[in-house]
Every structure is written in structure tokens, then in C-alpha cells.
Amino acid sequence: MPRSRKALCLLIAGLLVAAAAVESAHAYRKRKNPRRKKAAAAAAVQPAGPVVPAGPPPLLAPGRWDPGVRSRIEEFIRSQGKDAPEYDPNTPPVAVFALNDVLIVNDLGEAVFQRMALSSQTAVAAFDFRLDEDFWPILPAAFGRHRLRADYQQLLAVPVSVWPSQPAYRRMRKGFVRMYRDFCSQRGRKECRGLLARMFKGYSEDEAVSYAKDVILDELNRPLGLEFLEDRGSDPAPERIRTGLRPVPEMKDLLAVLGKEGFDVFVVSEDSQIALRQLVKHFGLPPERGLGIKVAMSSSTFFLSDEVEPPFPFRSGKLEAVLSAGGRPPAVVVARGADDAALLSYGEGLRLLIDDGDQSLRRVGMDRGWLIQPAFGP
């Protein structure tokens, strides 16, 4: 046999032996247990256990809330709101908010006053007070009234267009702000806020409404910040002015949720009621839900006077204003500071203290079961 044919035969024989070995190995491989496969499939379709129902959806956005405080607020709203068993749409629960540095950042009354003193809307470089003979007596004599009036007389002797270059003009702008602050520090907040409310003296009601509306819109769009008011170059003691107004997002959200859930919502503040009622519109409230300082109309001139009508919304006066407007004790009070202690302490329900660091008020709140939320920043 030729050598090549012999080699071919040996190769074929080797392949046949290898195939037989592989077949033998498959024959001895252990078969899978079909019962085990069925058991695994059955286990895969077994239910994991009883289905736990999901809780109610959150009412408030998480924001910067303390989670425990937010949870208790939501629980209270559900227990008293429109879907609660004892809810009566004829006498819905009342909720009331304080305003400055609670519902908004900065101070509404000061924003209007500063605009009148510092940045005229009616004439270039002029003031927006009605600076006639009837206006000056409302300024406190012991806090710079005569100096302000003397500077004003100097300005009247020159054209308005050159006022910004006049030392009397710069003294007068800073003088109004200094007068207000000195008066507040010595006479207290109640008299201080009454003075601000009287600054519309000589305006018609429509004029005051229009003015307040424009100031609020401008300040809501103005960056939050600080400006320094000087009466001369390199003034060693400039007045610091806070600028801008801004809703606190968490408070705006809470107010909207309370309204949606059937609460009658009010905002009470020791600010001009005319200005406050323009501001609450930006929170979706009708203007009559703003409870502020109401200045009477003069019966002889039909312009706003310097006479304040009761109730004056300061301390217990805030409670009086809320009870008069709402007709019943508030179920929800959101406030900040010792001047709101009477409002927070009256009646039962949810009391939310925005904690600004007053340790004595915080202790009172803890003793009485108020919710305490650290103050929200700008």
C-alpha cells in the first residue's frame, strides 16, 4: 500500500475514535431534573406578599422645610380641609399669615416709604410726598422735621433739574430715612408703623392705590440687596437700604395649598392697608384679604388724612383685625417674632412659628406645642 494511502486511513480511524469518545461522554452526562425546573418557575410567579397601599400624595413641595414640620402641616390640612368629614363650606377654617420676613423677604412699608423719599415716580429728582402745609405736621418735630423743611425751602429756590447737585437735596433724602429710623428706635414699632401709613396723606385713594401697585411691581422685579445712602462724598455714616421684595417660596406654596384645600386665607400686617391689598393680589388673594393699617379719608378734602382707623394691626390688634374680618378664631397662624405672640397664642389649631432666633419666644412655642420652623433665607 502506498505511504499516502496508509496515512489517510490512519487519520480517518483517529477521527472515528474521537467521535465515539465524545458520544460516550454525552451519554453519561447527568440529565437535569425536570421537576426542579418546574419548581423554580412556580417560585418565580409566587406573589411577594400583601400589597401595601401607598400614602396620600404630598401637599407641599419639599423646599427647605423641616421634614417633620412639613409632615404635620399636611396632616393638619387634611384633617380640617375641604375633604375632611366635618368641613363646612359655609364656615371654612381661617388661616392667617404675617407678612414681612414671613410671607415676603424684606418690608413692604419700608419699600413704599423709601421710594417716596429716594426715587420719585412723578418728577425728576423730586420727592413723592405731598409736601404742602398739611403734610409737615405728621413728621415728628423732635426727629428732624424742622431741618428737613429748611432744606426743602432751599430746594424750592432752584429748578428741580439741578436738585441732585444740591447739598440740601442729599441731606433731605438721607434725613427722611434717618428720621424714620431714629423715631422707630425710640418710640417703638407701633408708632413707627403708624408714621409710615400716614405718608400717603394728601393722596386720593386712587392715587395711593396706583402708586403702591407700581412700587410693588418694581420691587418684586428688583434684585434683593443693599444700597448705601450718603449725604456727601465719603460719608462716614451712610444709611443702609434693603432693596427688592420677594415671596418666600415655601410660604407662597403653603398659602396656595391652604386656599386650594378650602381655607379662608388672610394676610395681616402693620403696613398701609392700601399697599398690603395690592401685594396680596400677587399671592392670588382678593384685596380684602389684606388686613393692614387703614387711614381715614378727610371729609373736607376727600384726600387721605393722617387719622388711623381701628383696629390698629399690632400685637393684640392683629388678632382683633383677624376676628373682625374672619368672624372666627384662626385655625392656622403662621407668624414670626414677639409682636405676633398674641396672635399665635389665641385659640386652638396649627401654630407655626418662623424661628428668627428669639430664644424666649421659642421656649414659649415649645411649651405650647407650636410647630417651629427655622427661618427661610432669601
Q: List pLDDT tens digits, range 304-332.
A: 999 999 999 999 999 999 999 999 999 99
Residue written as grid cell 390698629: 312
* Mean confidence (pLDDT) of the chain: 89
DSSP 254-312: HHHHHHHTT-EEEEEEEEEHHHHHHHGGGGT--GGGEEEEEEEEPTTT-SEEEEEESPP
- Is the pLDDT at 11 greater than 50? The verdict is no
CB within 8 Å of 72: residues ≥ 6 apart? 350, 371
pLDDT band at 249 (very low <50, low <70, confident <90, very high): very high
User: Is residue 135 a contact partner of residue 200, using CB atoms and an 8 Å limit?
Assistant: no
In CATH terms, the superfamily for domain 67-105+247-374 is HAD superfamily/HAD-like (3.40.50.1000)
* Domain locations in the chain as residue ranges: 67-105+247-374, 108-243
Element holding 41 (H helix, E strand): helix 34-44
- Model confidence, pTM: 0.85
Topology of the domain covering 108-243: de novo design (two linked rop proteins) (1.20.1440)
115: left (phi over 0), alpha (psi -120 to 50) or beta: alpha
CB count in 10 Å sphere of residue 374 = 13
For residues 81-93, average pLDDT: 97
> What per-residue confidence (pLDDT) applies to 185?
97
- Is the pLDDT at 156 greater than 70? The verdict is yes
> What per-residue confidence (pLDDT) applies to 233?
83
Distances (CA, A) of 236 to 144, 151, 233, 240: 19, 21, 9, 12
pLDDT band at 50 (very low <50, low <70, confident <90, very high): low
Q: What percent of the chain has pLDDT over 90?
A: 80
- Is the pLDDT at 89 greater than 50? The verdict is yes
Domains 67-105+247-374 and 108-243 belong to one CATH topology: no
pLDDT band at 15 (very low <50, low <70, confident <90, very high): very low
